[in-house]
Amino acid sequence: MYINKVIITKVSIFRIKFKLLFIKNKNLRTRYKRFTYYKISKKLSNSLKWGISYSVYDGEELLEKSLRCIRNSADYINVVYQTKSWYNEPCSKDLLKVLQHCKKLGLIDELIEYKPQFHLSAGKQELNKRNLGLKYAKKANCDYFMPADTDEFYFDFELEKTKRIICLDDITNAYCLQKQYISPEKLIVELPVNAVTLFSKINKFSRLKQNKNNIILIDPTRQISRYINKKAFVFLDIYMHHYSYLRKDLPKKIRNSSGIIKNTNPEKESVDVKDYFNLKDIFS
């Protein structure tokens, strides 16, 4: 079905290009092209199913607001949660309440529990956990999939723009850069070197696994494999807004991370910004 939609889109684009040959006025030609491409990409985007999976153990205080900023851009959202960390530390008493509250609001479509396997490394467990979210997205017949965490935020209009470009250019693996924040109103000036996975095309064979030959540095637990007809693209004008230092219990995050967090209070140059996602009230 997806292939048929792509073929129809390519035929439509060919027709537009043919019509453009007969429009001599440059401004009219540009306006016609922009408008018709927008209509085609939006129609294709709306006909596909876009899935997002959150991996949750802590940071539940940010979850509802993160979900609200992406809910309109996703047809299916699951949350894979765990009540004990990779190192057997219990979750907060609020986690399950927050998850049920968000599901009741319609921000979550499916809750899935992951039970840690302590004989495995934290990195391997995180990969298994994210693949569980991908598995359920496949069951929900999603065409595209994005992994996410509670401290990650997007502007919905940028996600919609991303989806249209992905459809129009038939991108299979989309990535974007990230902006990192010390607080809701403090942005670190220096951009992180690693990018994040946006939506990637999936099928029944898709898996999250490390790919050392990826076009840009990505978290090894968030790389969606694709071996044939891969078309990767890095968006340089769209960002994931990462509030990685924003927690009610930051030491707990540090203790239970599957990676290495070198500095919990980075002494990096920062600038004042707007509290884009109204996060300050969570900690007031």
Taking Cα atoms as reference points, which of 170, 192, 174, 194 lies closest to residue 182? 192
Is there a single domain that holds both residue 201 and residue 268? Answer: yes
Under 8 Å between Cβ of 265 and 240: no
Is there a single domain that holds both residue 229 and residue 107? Answer: yes
**Residue 24, pLDDT score:** 76
- Both tokens of 215, joined, read 């076009």
Is there a single domain that holds both residue 15 and residue 145? Answer: no
Global confidence as pTM: 0.88
Q: Name the DSSP class of 276.
A: T
User: Does residue 151 surpass a pLDDT of 90?
Assistant: yes
Is there a single domain that holds both residue 104 and residue 239? Answer: yes
Q: How many folded domains does the chain comprise?
A: 2
Q: What is the arithmetic mean of pLDDT over 103-114?
A: 98
Is there a single domain that holds both residue 57 and residue 182? Answer: yes
The residue assigned the tokens 């927008």 is 38
192 is in which domain, residue-wise? 48-282
Is there a single domain that holds both residue 40 and residue 161? Answer: no
CA–CA separation, 65 and 79 (whole Å): 14
User: Does residue 158 surpass a pLDDT of 60?
Assistant: yes
**Residue 159, pLDDT score:** 96
- Both tokens of 99, joined, read 């998850």
Is there a single domain that holds both residue 53 and residue 186? Answer: yes
Mean pLDDT over the full length of the chain: 88
Q: Which residue has the higher pLDDT, 1 or 51?
A: 51
Return the bridge partners of 241, or none. 153, 179
Is there a single domain that holds both residue 11 and residue 103? Answer: no
